[in-house]
Chain A
Amino acid sequence: MIATHIDAERRYHEIRKSALRAISGQVSSSLCLGFKLIDEKALAASKSWEFSSVRLVDWDWSDGYKYFKFRHPKWFELALWHKNKLVSLSLGRPTYSGTGLRLDVIEGSPEEREIKVFPAVIAAMAVYASALGAKEIRVMKPINKAVRDYYSTQGFTFVAKGDYLYKKLSGLTL
């Protein structure tokens, strides 16, 4: 790994931590949500998803996470916890032009969830996007129509050509 890559990793690691700290500080404690970086505990917890009969994907988060972050030093990551239970993992990165932040991989726990995870993931992304100077958030490749329609209810606009949805950051903040 070259020095510039290591420097970038270090710098963006600090920004990621600051973004998650900022969002954690604003969310009511009554929601019992934890906004954390992806760590061994989260990856181990995601292993239990592999036994779910309702899971729609067969992703190996341990391998995928390692590979993704190596390739994209400015990556976004979130392990979302609810009442000490892992409810979602997500990964993203800036677009090539830097004007947007992409949500490249998101998975909600296939187990019964008491809360919605997508609005919380988007909130964390919005803070990180703002820190990077990005102007929009893109959600890449929704897995099916139900998921795509759900994102649309959250104000995201579908772009068929690239198979993604987007929302301007200005539409997420005051």
Chain B
Amino acid sequence: MNDKKVSSIQKHRKKKKPPSLDDVARSVVKTHMEPMMSNSDEEPRGLASGGFELDDEKEKNDDK
């Protein structure tokens, strides 16, 4: 019984600990950035998105 409790607390503590920024960075570089930068998909030269024209009401709706 007590062992169970301890193990459950340990599990809970393990879950609670957020990854460090270095851990996240390492992971995203290996999982996403490096594979995507080296694959054969071409990036459009005129790469652009969004813009500076801001409209609060529209942004609120966008975020829903």
CA distance A13 to B54 in the complex (A): 22
Q: Are B36 and A55 in contact (CB under 8 A)?
A: no
- The stretch that binds B, out of A3-11, A19-27, A37-45, is A19-27
Q: Which A residue's beta carbon lies closest to that of B59?
A: A96
The A/B interface has a contact count, at CB < 8 Å, of 153
Query: Which A positions have Cβ atoms within 8 angstroms of B?
Result: 18-19, 22-23, 25-28, 31, 54-57, 59, 63-64, 67-68, 71, 88, 95-97, 100, 102-108, 110, 112-113, 115-120, 122-123, 126-127, 130-131, 139-144, 146-147, 150, 153-155, 162-164, 172-174
Query: Which B positions have Cβ atoms within 8 angstroms of A?
Result: 19-22, 24-34, 36-37, 41-52, 54, 59-63
Residues on A with C-beta less than 8 A from B29 are: 23, 26-27, 123
CA distance A67 to B53 in the complex (A): 10
Residues on B with C-beta less than 8 A from A162 are: 61-63
Q: Which A residue's beta carbon lies closest to that of B32?
A: A172
Q: Are B48 and A173 in contact (CB under 8 A)?
A: no
Q: Which B residue's beta carbon lies closest to that of A72?
A: B54
Residues on B with C-beta less than 8 A from A112 are: 45
Q: Which B residue's beta carbon lies closest to that of A87?
A: B47
- A18-B44 contact in complex given A64-B52, A120-B37, C-beta closer than 8 Å: no
**How far, in Å, is B56 (CB) from chain A's closest CB?**
9
CA distance A172 to B43 in the complex (A): 19
